[in-house]
Amino acid sequence: MFTPFITEDFLLLNIMEEQQNDNQLNIELSEEIAEGIFSNLAIITHSNTEFVLDFIRVMPGIPKAKVKSRIILTPEHAKRLLSALEDNIAKFEAINGRIKTQEEPPFPMGFGGPTAQA
């Protein structure tokens, strides 16, 4: 189970694991990237050599949206990502219950309610 808290025990364990495993990959996560980017729409395209995942934030009442992040993957890595997502969703649903999905929203995505003009 993942826990976002780092304790002295965790750091000690991590140091011991690093000493035991020289092949360990050290991954750096900057504060900016750690904040993440919210996305409520993803568009996936592909060619014979790559998959392109565009993550977009659609805001209510605004007819234009920007791609906030683009990830480009090899087909092999895309398949590993799919497998990892399926595994994590299964674990999530085992604890929290089935994720409810709705039909695909129409474009443009309407959030309902009044729209304002500036």
E-strand stretches of the chain = 41-46, 51-57, 66-73
Mean pLDDT of 100-113: 65
Q: What is the pLDDT of residues 6-22, one digit of tens each?
A: 444 555 555 555 555 66
Q: What is the pLDDT of residues 24-68, one digit of tens each?
A: 889 999 999 999 999 999 999 999 999 999 999 999 999 999 999
Distance CA 66, CA 26 (A): 32
